[in-house]
Amino acid sequence: MPLVQLQQQLFALLQIRQLFHIIAPRTATARSFRFPTRAGRRFSLSSINPIVDFSLFDHAKPIGTLADINNCNHQRFEISQLDGILFEELSTNRCVGYKDTTTADFWVRGHMPGFALMPGVVMCEAAAQLSSYFTVKYDLLGCDVVGLGGIENCRFRGSVLPGQRLTMMVRGTKLRRGGMIACEFQGWVDQRIVVTGELKGVPLFEASRILGRAKA
């Protein structure tokens, strides 16, 4: 092989090696890295406290039915992601609801064949619907249709399988009537945390006008 061609190949290999080190640092460096935590300790799921203590409600005794939810929310059929309400407390802006998943749920066939997992976006939809239910029931925004305005700091920490009950908790943290409501949310399966995050709800006045006219 000519010397010039060999030099060109070596130079190309050196460039690739340098690029690889930029994109993927050495394994030893990656192993020694630790993400900082607020408490200065390694993060543990057991450190997450539920928004509502499990002793304050009874899964066998819902305080709200699907009919009660449908009086506040407009989602129906496959997109309805709440089956009942377990706890409400207006003084602290807290609410707990649940969704009983089944093998007939729309996401089971495609996500994923052979090992069905509830999609994270569906968990977030359940949280949004619970927040909407609470907001509309107590007329917090001055509008009877609430839309999802955004999701922040969302983390998926576990899985939800067909046949399991997803218990969703929300707590209102900020309210501007006629403008926006902010909530933190948690999802649990058998007292095991599976999702956490924050969401914003916004009033949909045009939808409220149209849907209100349709119901009349």
Element (H, E) at 134: helix 120-137
Nearest alpha carbon to residue 146 among 156, 157, 136: 136
Structure tokens at 84: 């009942």
Please tell me what DSSP assigns to residue 141.
Answer: S
Task: Give the span between the Cα atoms of 28 and 120, in whole angstroms.
Answer: 32
Q: How far is CA 194 from the centre of its chain?
A: 9
- Answer for the pair 130, 52: CB distance below 8 angstroms, yes or no: no
**Which residues carry out catalysis?**
111
